[in-house]
Structure 1
């Protein structure tokens, strides 16, 4: 194992299940119906408790009132991660850098400004700065109190969050930052974005609460759009520091090792599809295993990308079989609970993996699927998959700290 370790000192999340670390305890699908024209589509919308937090956050600072929902979700998750890490907020100086992924960025504000332009022929001066992708990470950095640390935003469709985490790992290993807030955020539940997903022909025909998102269940396609964010507080320490430092099991109860983030790419004719063999998945998983380094047999569970589309689910399964053989790890997913949150999905999958490592369990879906029950053996190391339009994929490996 490498001498230098990238550890997750704290984490935070918001999703349809709520906010914080305990949302997966006794979890059930958290979907509601949203009208798109005359049709009712299932969505993974935030619960009232998180909406109240967003409303309060908007009132904290005059500038926050105009921020997109995507940015505010990232702020809430980053605050949780900072608090859990024990970092003093607003006292970060140049030690803290920020790396945030989002597929769509400021979706709601961009659509709002465009509607105003069509009606009035003009837009407010703040339109451009409030709708650029860099607007996400820069506000997270401002809220966290960093003065000159890097602020990086990533958009690589649905693997955006793992792109952000991989970049943070590289910066930390290179000594270019001491701490990182890294993750993903997305607030895509607008009529226009829902219409785009529906036009692809992949949207679930099932309404809430009838388990509308069903990864690994085959046909029909059961893609469901959701919103949320997850952010992680990352630090670099040496194994010697871990073994000889003043650490106890209690002090490391919320600490995990981010062992690797691997990437895979393939150029294919369809920019919305993927190869049947999932070559980009295979490349990402193999790179992550090599980077860790660990053998396929060292992986106890995989948090699947698995959006509930038959072709996408089958491609990922074939890729896993190619890498792991017939003795595959246990397979699980959180999308049947919260939907597909696009650029935030990989970060929320990592947050789900931390819950599994902490509790050694995961909820069982109430529909026929190839997702597996939690294994009886200990789950010590988990691989997380993500993939997006354009032939890109990413895989992360996370494990619990052992002292």
Structure 2
């Protein structure tokens, strides 16, 4: 099978609207969580979220484009442009029929869906919806929009596996290129979930933090006093390319995608397996796919969202797999919040930057480590640490029992 490399990355997050800004704020321990401004959340139990910082759609799109696209697509197109620009793909010779797009989201165009239904509820006798209502709200619209923008005519579809969606997209892209079904695939995910329906819905499940008086300290994986995750929005994009294709066009290679795997807990509709059995199985399969041993992994970007069961079960899963050597661990959601279906894409960017720069970003907001977390585990806290990394792992888990793991390796 062909080797697959990364030649471009893009990021749009609550702590930065580019890869450079995102990484700088991540290693400096910044939090992107604040009070919700998208709508009046004063009557909601959770009134905080991670909204995009440093960018507004008007900076990149015309009013006509904004009117015709949900934030889901706008975020995707913004992140993809940065990734494509970095890759230098458009300035080289390529076959657009051999370039695909595999894009992820957990919730589709929920803002469009919500706004349309609320308008209809005000006056159901009118039965009048926007002609853009359906195309703006569909889950696969971003993948189509990306293809249309760049005339990419290869493999094209969208992926949903809840909060594991982006890693699922990266895994699919990896395999299609390996199998010589494409030369280049734009992979990643976007999410625009800061709406009344999702804040209210996840809040009703008691999944969201209610630390409204301390937004920047609310996303606190592994802390004794954590009370749920903080919902965030944004997008991450990766340009995956066969090694041969990248070399032929003289592209700068950032990292290699070594392997990936998925599994399912088959345990509960929303809760992870308490012992982390499904997650452990996915990690083992990813190592096997990458032809690596546990000792070859230097850092794991944890899924850790700040839920009581999830954080502990992930550590238990790691303990099942990494018996003789535990890699450095950190939870970057402590800074970004949880981007749901886009989480894997953003954390892929963070993992690759850690590999490239030799820096493991810290888990912030741990004031009192949960007593259920084994003492002595190499959890990077408070300050980033320097490390020579050859291979890193990125974990994502989702409602429905989905587990998706991706392993990245140095380009050297």
Give the TM-score normalised by structure 2.
0.88
In the alignment, the residues of structure 1 paired with residue 71 and residue 52 of structure 2 have an alpha-carbon distance, to the nearest angstrom, of 11
Q: Does 1:104 align with 2:107?
A: yes
Cα 1:105–1:38, aligned 2, differ >3 Å: closer, same or farther? closer
In the alignment, the residues of structure 2 paired with residue 139 and residue 65 of structure 1 have an alpha-carbon distance, to the nearest angstrom, of 14
The residue that corresponds to 2:118 in the other structure is 115
After TM superposition, give the deviation of residue 110 of structure 1 in Å: 1.0
The residue that corresponds to 1:65 in the other structure is 67
SS of residue in 1 equivalent to 2:285? helix
CA RMSD of aligned residues (A): 2.3
The residue that corresponds to 1:133 in the other structure is 139
**Which is further off, 363-372 or 272-281?**
363-372
> For structure 1, which runs of at least 5 residues remain unmatched after alignment?
none
Cα 1:209–1:130, aligned 2, differ >3 Å: closer, same or farther? closer
Deviations 1:204-232 (A, max 9, x none): 23234441101111343231000010010
In the alignment, the residues of structure 1 paired with residue 341 and residue 249 of structure 2 have an alpha-carbon distance, to the nearest angstrom, of 37
1:83 maps to which of 82, 85, 110:
85
1:346 maps to which of 335, 344, 347:
344
The residue that corresponds to 1:256 in the other structure is 255
Give the TM-score normalised by structure 1.
0.90
SS of residue in 2 equivalent to 1:281? helix
Q: Does 1:217 align with 2:216?
A: no
The residue that corresponds to 1:94 in the other structure is 97
Deviations 1:278-313 (A, max 9, x none): 122112101110000100000000000000001000
The residue that corresponds to 2:282 in the other structure is 284
SS of residue in 2 equivalent to 1:88? helix
Alignment of 1:164-203 (within 5 A): 164-203=169-208
Deviations 1:173-193 (A, max 9, x none): 121111110001101001111
After TM superposition, give the deviation of residue 380 of structure 1 in Å: 1.7
In the alignment, the residues of structure 2 paired with residue 366 and residue 163 of structure 1 have an alpha-carbon distance, to the nearest angstrom, of 29
**Alpha-carbon contact 1:89-1:145 (below 8 Å) kept:** no
Q: How many positions carry a matched residue from both structures?
A: 387
**Alpha-carbon contact 1:189-1:226 (below 8 Å) kept:** yes
Alignment of 1:195-344 (within 5 A): 195-207=200-212, 208-238=214-244, 252=252, 255-268=254-267, 270-325=268-323, 327-344=325-342
The residue that corresponds to 2:394 in the other structure is 384
Cα 1:258–1:339, aligned 2, differ >3 Å: closer, same or farther? same
The residue that corresponds to 1:372 in the other structure is 380
**Alpha-carbon contact 1:57-1:64 (below 8 Å) kept:** no
Cα 1:116–1:210, aligned 2, differ >3 Å: closer, same or farther? closer
